[in-house]
Every structure is written in structure tokens, then in C-alpha cells.
Amino acid sequence: MKKLLYGMGALTWIVINLTIIYGIGRGAAWLITQSLGSFLLYLALGLGGLLLLIVLSLLSIGLIGSLFDDHDKWTERLERWFPFM
């Protein structure tokens, strides 16, 4: 049961990340139709949001790992990805 729940958590994480990638593609297509000033503003806002989504995504997979006693593996990966933490 524990492995099933861990797999469902990881699958949910993957689906959410794929949805984010699809949304970025749709947003990029929309940005192409904007003027240069609007484009730069929305690009800056989008890059800030993307950074926030990446950090939240990594933290959520770490949370899933810690909930299912796979904490050591994900802690090691997060420390390798973010050595300043």
C-alpha cells in the first residue's frame, strides 16, 4: 500500500509538471501576438513565476519522499541541486 501511494504521489507530480509545460507553451504562443512592451513585461513576470514553480515542484517531490520514508534519497538529490540550502 505504501509503494502504491508513493507511486500515485510521484505520478501526480509528473502530471502537474506536464500541465505546467503545456501552459508555458500556450503562454509563449500568446506572448508572440503581443506588442514589445507587453511582451517584455509578461516575459519578466512569467520567468519569475517559472522560478517559483520549479522551486515548489522540487520541494513537493521532497515532501512526497519524506512522507513515504524515502527521505534520504530525496534529501541527497535536493542538496545536490541546491548546495546553498
Which grid coordinates belong to 11?
A: 505520478
Q: What pLDDT is stored for residue 77 in this prediction?
A: 73
Let me know if 42 is exposed, middle or buried by CB neighbors in 10 A (0-12, 13-18, 19+).
Answer: middle
pLDDT at position 31 is 75
Mean pLDDT of all residues in 12-27: 82
Q: Is 41 helix (H, G, I), strand (E, B) or coil?
A: helix
Q: What is the pLDDT of the chain when averaged over all its residues?
A: 77
For 85, the enclosing helix (H) or strand (E) is none
Residue-range domain boundaries for the chain: 2-81
25 pLDDT tier (thresholds 50, 70, 90): confident
Q: What predicted TM-score, i.e. pTM, was given to this entire model?
A: 0.53
Do residues 32 and 26 lie in contact, with contact meaning Cβ atoms separated by under 8 Å? no
Binned at pLDDT 50, 70 and 90, residue 14 comes out as confident
Mean pLDDT of 40-45: 81
